[in-house]
Amino acid sequence: MTKQLWAIRHVGFEDMGTFALPLIEAGFDIRYLDAGVDDLGTIDPLAPELMCVLGGPIGAYEEKLYPFVADEIALLKTRLAAGRPTLGLCLGAQMMARALGAAVYKGRAREIGFIPLTLTDAGRNGLLAGYDDVPVLHWHGDVFDLPAGAECLASTPDCDNQAFTLGNHALAFQCHPEAQPEGFERWLVGHACELAGAGLSPVSLRRDMQEHGPPLKALGQKMLRNWLAKLD
């Protein structure tokens, strides 16, 4: 029987990426809901077997500017309170943190590029085994406090909470383990203004993705398969 994954998408090029294959292999049908287009206030947050909230260049606290943010927080509160499987990536992790009562705010520094993760014991001995000191793609300026009851899995010098779990049902990443070499040019074009403002070159990011992308793809797919197995 086919299972449903509903993925809330904020910009078209930030999709399930490398995670799509293990999800399809696990029997999930991937359905995208586009924030600001699809009415997130009318969907049943408990309906899909798995929900994912993807990344985007806005703040998880900007509901006055982007009213759909309030709908996302509300549906995540309901879903997480019910213990339903939920995955968050970058902005999605910030949304999950807020829904769980934690603060989201500007970080010490903007992180854009491939930066190594430092794992906690929980990350090293669990889902993130193999990621210690591995450069992973980061693309954010905001950070979040660790929600009550959650377990931190990784950090970087400028971001204390790069990943967390809550029970077996919730997994969140501030970084982008789902990013893949195929289609990465869309990120460079879509975020061209941000890169220019930060004085960063798409040439170096493209080169780094070519170097790190293939091993990260295999590592991310293995990690996600292990998490999905815990949901069965």
Q: Cβ contacts of residue 202 below 8 Å, gap of 6+? A: 188, 192, 195
pLDDT in tens, 116-165: 999 999 999 999 999 999 999 999 999 999 999 999 999 999 999 999 99
**Which domains does the chain show, CATH number per domain?**
3-231 (3.40.50.880)
Query: Does an H or E element contain 91, and which?
Result: helix 91-99
pTM, two decimals, is 0.96
Alpha helices of 118-201 — where are they, by DSSP H?
121-124, 184-190, 192-198
Whole-Å CA distances, 16 to 66, 126, 146 = 22, 22, 24
Is 80 exceeded by the pLDDT of residue 108? yes
Give me the pLDDT at residue 3, please. Answer: 96
pLDDT in tens, 42-94: 999 999 999 999 999 999 999 999 999 999 999 999 999 999 999 999 999 99
Is 80 exceeded by the pLDDT of residue 7? yes
Q: What is the rounded CA–CA span in Å between residue 49 and residue 169?
A: 11
